[in-house]
Chains A and B, each alone.
Chain A
Amino acid sequence: MEQKPMRLVFGEILCELAEEFPEMVVLDADVSNSTQTKRFEEKFKDRFFNFGIAEANMVSAAAGMATCGLIPVVSTFAFLIVLRAGDPVRSLIAYNSLNVKLAGGYAGLSDFADGASHQSVTDLAIMRAMPNMTVLVPSDIDTTRGAVRAMLKHRGPVYLRLSREPVGSYHGGDESFEIGKAKILKDGKDVTLAVSGTLLPQVLEAAEELEKAGIRPAVLEFPTLKPFDSETLIYYAQKTGAIVTVEEHTILGGFGGAVSESLSEICPVPVKRIGINDCFGESATSYSELLNKYFLTKGYICQAAIGLIKRKK
């Protein structure tokens, strides 16, 4: 399968959409080589603004631009957009529901070598809590391209979570992306594996393993974390009676949180949240080392699913 760093997919699709969205401008904070917005700068110099290492200023300026009819795509590392610029994100962009797109790169553990300071395992919990904010979490090449196009068409603030890791294409090149809709990747009846983001391949592999063991899991993908597709979730909660959530984020307040909140009100079934267990990451020599360390693996997902099915009975 073709593999491409998600940041590269992001940089490329921005360039492709530049003509379709002439109001789009791209802002970055001295990491345009890392986030790959450099590609946009090379082709559309007038529409690119490098704010230097000053994220709060960049996000606030984007708010000003949006009031003048531009569509700013603000790009830097996820933790900087969400936390360093958290006040302008809240006070200017979310509160006024401005048409600014916040692209948080290097999210999750994907900046494996730089360690905890550069990793982002709390961004979804924070962005989900912001009124007016739409939160998109693509998993692969197809959903990344679809998400960028969808966020530019959508009017209002959007947080787009991006990884630096290579991703494949798990949707057969289908870039359709409807904000607020889950994707049903596999129908099943014994347990639901629900995933948001780049751990999708681990979940698909786990589903295959489970099938070999005679278990029929449903696989749901939630490329939109907010607005949340509770309808699809609850349908599968009723059908399968147990849900495993998988995300590259703290299990507190992110995807697992969203699933648990939705279910507990309408259809409480056993849930196992797989994610970062309320801790920070660390440096490693490869991304996969970190996924192993934090139990974000096929084997652990299978084990969790089997455990849940037992609880169900």
Chain B
Amino acid sequence: MFPIEEIKRAAQEARITVINMIYKAGSGHIGGSLSCAEIITVLYECFLNVKPEEPLWPERDRFILSKGHAAPMLYAILSRKGFFEQSQLDTLRKLNSNLQGHPCMFKLPGIDMSTGSLGMGVSVGVGMALAAKLTKRNFRVFVLCGDGELQEGQNWEAFMSAAKWKLDNLIVIIDKNGVQLDGKVEEVMPLGDLEAKLKAFGIYVLNCDGHNVEALINSIQEAINYKGPAAVIANTVKGKGVSFMEGQSLWHGKPINKEEYEQAIMELSKCF
């Protein structure tokens, strides 16, 4: 595991990589990619037992990016870990690329499930966690969801089933940035008391600042230690790190022009 400062730096570098990728691609989801930089970095640097040189290693921990539109952030971190050449990052969303607009498991090493259509990741995680139990393997399954995504009812079916089978090898992380495509989650379709809802479904719930690396590490570790299904509500900011994008639903999936691109890179680079 890297020292904390290194992880913080890696997350910020991944943000710059994401802006570069989406600028070159001409489309892509910036806001929800930037909000989960620390979450995905912490998962890959501190928790996920994976082998980039053997991406299908059966004992590996699984990671499902249920909010598949944040694919650029996952790609940035997977390439950094050595799952594929960094030069491929420039092919995002281009014809014949392995880097599809949303993650595709049969094209890119390191993707455990193709995602994009929202609300299915927790269910897939339930299936993988059950399979681990049945085959007596010790891997863990981590699922990253968006908060807007929880409006899909299937998530709640999945939480029910995780509780039924007491899946202590399933950890759900919710990137709670509070913004979806059409506006604020609270306005488009309020989730109500998310923590109470999850608890009522039999899920152990932790809260933390999703941009605070130490807090994320502690919460995810506690979720792992808990003897049952657990969720970490990671409070984040959509578009984190770029002043004119922060908290703006406009930046859910808007292409970035040259001027905005230069401004974003400048702001993100200032932190070093």
* Chain A residues touching B, majority SS: helix
Asked whether A63 and B131 contact (CB < 8 A) given A92-B113, A96-B106, A96-B114, the answer is no
A54 at the interface (CB under 8 A from B): yes
A25 at the interface (CB under 8 A from B): yes
Name B226-264 residues within 8 Å CB distance of A.
Answer: none
Closest to A47 in B: B134
The listed residue with most A CB atoms (<10 A of its CB), out of B116, B123, B160, is B123
Chain A window 18-29, contacts with chain B (Cβ cutoff 8 Å), 1 for yes, 0 for no: 000000010000
Does B123 lie within 8 Å of A25, measured CB to CB? no
Name A198-236 residues within 8 Å CB distance of B.
Answer: none
CB distance from A150 to the nearest CB of B (A): 24
Other-chain contact of B58, A60, A66, A69, A91 (Cβ < 8 Å): A69
CB distance from A186 to the nearest CB of B (A): 43
B112 at the interface (CB under 8 A from A): yes
CB distance from A53 to the nearest CB of B (A): 9
B154 at the interface (CB under 8 A from A): yes
B127 at the interface (CB under 8 A from A): yes
CB distance from A62 to the nearest CB of B (A): 6
CB distance from B142 to the nearest CB of A (A): 13
Q: Which residues of A contact B113 (CB under 8 A)?
A: 63-64, 67, 92, 96
The listed residue with most B CB atoms (<10 A of its CB), out of A62, A65, A87, A97, is A65
B132 at the interface (CB under 8 A from A): yes
Q: Which residues of B contact A68 (CB under 8 A)?
A: 58, 127-128, 131-132, 135, 137
CB distance from B114 to the nearest CB of A (A): 5
Closest to B114 in A: A96
Asked whether A65 and B123 contact (CB < 8 A) given A52-B160, A57-B157, the answer is no
CB distance from B9 to the nearest CB of A (A): 33
Chain B window 135-179, contacts with chain A (Cβ cutoff 8 Å), 1 for yes, 0 for no: 101000100000000000010011011001100000000000000
Does B161 lie within 8 Å of A60, measured CB to CB? no
B110 at the interface (CB under 8 A from A): no
Closest to B165 in A: A49
Closest to A64 in B: B127
Does B131 lie within 8 Å of A57, measured CB to CB? no
Name B93-122 residues within 8 Å CB distance of A.
Answer: 105-106, 112-114, 116-117, 120
B48 at the interface (CB under 8 A from A): no
Does B160 lie within 8 Å of A65, measured CB to CB? no
* Complex Cα spacing A60 to B135, Å: 19
* Complex Cα spacing A56 to B164, Å: 17
Asked whether A70 and B131 contact (CB < 8 A) given A57-B126, A60-B120, the answer is yes
Does A57 lie within 8 Å of B161, measured CB to CB? yes
A294 at the interface (CB under 8 A from B): no
Q: With A60-B154, A61-B158, A68-B137 given, can you name 6 additional A-B contacts, CB distance below 8 Å?
A: A54-B160, A64-B123, A64-B127, A65-B130, A67-B112, A69-B58
Can you spell out 21 A-B residue pairs with CB atoms less than 8 angstroms apart?
Answer: A52-B161, A54-B154, A57-B123, A57-B158, A60-B124, A60-B126, A62-B127, A63-B124, A64-B123, A64-B129, A64-B131, A66-B127, A67-B105, A68-B132, A68-B137, A70-B131, A70-B134, A87-B117, A88-B117, A92-B113, A92-B124
